[in-house]
Amino acid sequence: MPLLIAAALAAGLSAASPSHGPTLATEDTMFTSVPEVLVSAPRVTLAEILDRVARGEARRESLMTDQSFLLTLRVVRDARTPGRTPQLVSETVMRVYKKKPDRVRSLVLRRYEAKPKKGGVRFGVRLRPGMDEEIVNFAFRPEARREFRYRILGRDLLGDHLIYRIGFEPRSLLDPTMPKGTVWIDTNDFVIVRQEVAFDRSPAPPILKGVDRMVIERGNAGGYWVLKRVLLRVQTTLPLPNLGRSFDLTLRFDDIAINSGLADSLFAAGGSASR
């Protein structure tokens, strides 16, 4: 009861005046403070972070000898057009097998096209046999240091994972295909777990007006960091058949198995090129 009276007084109310809305009490009985701690250990420098990422990515690649996964390629139009419902244009599902040093095979399991049209745009994926996932770490390879600038954007603590956010941008503005972006680095393994890429100019004029967004995400599969999702949001200069002026292209990687001991005979029909 004393707490209720105190709350009423704090809200400027009396027992005789009716309440015209909710009554809020101000909590002033609890106070918590954390003493400052002087940390004498030197902070990790940006150059050292870049070195560790290069080593972490190389180690991630070296631990894998083969992969198999389910790859889904989806194209959706009008995903961001006001007043229009997003429409699935096409979807291709394939099973992919990869094995070092140079073997890769893909088998198409299902293909869907909303409006099959002769001369229309058909999307495909060129699969590389390596495990390096250059689409993720292209700007953080040792040989790329002279092509990009880097800066630390922040540090985040997620559970027992310390995540660095590192921004990168091209040193030269002459090449429109060179993007800028941000990566999220998990310092437990010093590998890139997420990347957002942007282009100041169209990477493929005059067909593309621009790439609004490109997001690349990795996931942990059995202790190995591998690709899980790639999203591109594209605008075109002219309407394309079945696509219009804008569309989203998404790659999803599911049912991932690492180092399962794929037999060489599995690649006999596929050789070193995807099918």
**pLDDT, tens digit, 9 for 90 and up, residues 71-97:** 999 999 887 777 778 899 999 999 999
**Average pLDDT value for residue range 227-244:** 88
As given in the structure block, the two tokens for residue 4 are 């209720």
Using only C-alpha atoms, the chain has a radius of gyration, in whole angstroms, of 26
Say what the pTM is: 0.78
10 versus 84: which is more confidently predicted?
84
Looking up tokens 């894998």, which residue turns up?
A: 64
270 versus 163: which is more confidently predicted?
163
Q: What pLDDT digit, counting tens, does each position of 154-170 carry?
A: 999 888 889 999 999 99
pLDDT at position 17 over 80:
no
104 versus 37: which is more confidently predicted?
104
Residue 97, pLDDT score? 96
Percent of the chain at pLDDT > 90 equals 56
**Average pLDDT value for residue range 108-136:** 83
Q: How confident is the model at residue 53 (pLDDT cuts 50, 70, 90)?
A: very high
pLDDT at position 231 over 70:
yes
CA atoms within 13 A of residue 164's CA, in its CB half-sphere = 23
Percent of the chain at pLDDT > 70 equals 81
pLDDT at position 59 over 50:
yes
CB atoms within 10 A of CB 55: 13
Q: How far apart are CA 176 and CA 195, in angstroms?
A: 19
Q: How confident is the model at residue 275 (pLDDT cuts 50, 70, 90)?
A: very low
> What's the mean pLDDT when you consider all of the chain?
84
Lowest mean per-residue pLDDT among 149-163, 175-189, 259-273: 259-273
Measure Cα distances from 178 to 20, 189, 199, 201, 203 in Å. 61, 27, 7, 9, 8
41, amino acid identity: A
